[in-house]
Amino acid sequence: MYEDDLDNAEDVVYTGQGGHNLTGDKRQMRDQKLERGNLALKFAFRGKERSEKN
C-alpha cells in the first residue's frame, strides 16, 4: 500500500503498482509501467465507463 492510497469502504483510490525502490524505502524510482495490475486497473475502469454510458 502506498501512502497516498485511500480506502473509505465506499471509494478506493488506487495509485498503481511498481516503480518503487526495492531497497525498502519505497521511493518512486521510475514511472509505473502499464502491465499486470496497472493494466487490469485500466481495463476495469474502461469497463465501468462503458456501463455508465448505457
Mind listing the pLDDT tens digit for each residue in 1-54? 566 666 677 776 666 677 767 677 767 777 778 888 888 888 887 776 566 665
Nearest to residue 16, comparing CAs of 35, 24, 26, 8? 35
Q: Report whether 38 contacts 17 (CB < 8 A).
A: yes
CA 13 to CA 5: how far, in whole Å? Answer: 6
pTM for the whole structure: 0.44
pLDDT score for 54: 57
Cell output for 35: 502491465
Residue type, 54: N
For the chain, give every domain's residue range. 6-53
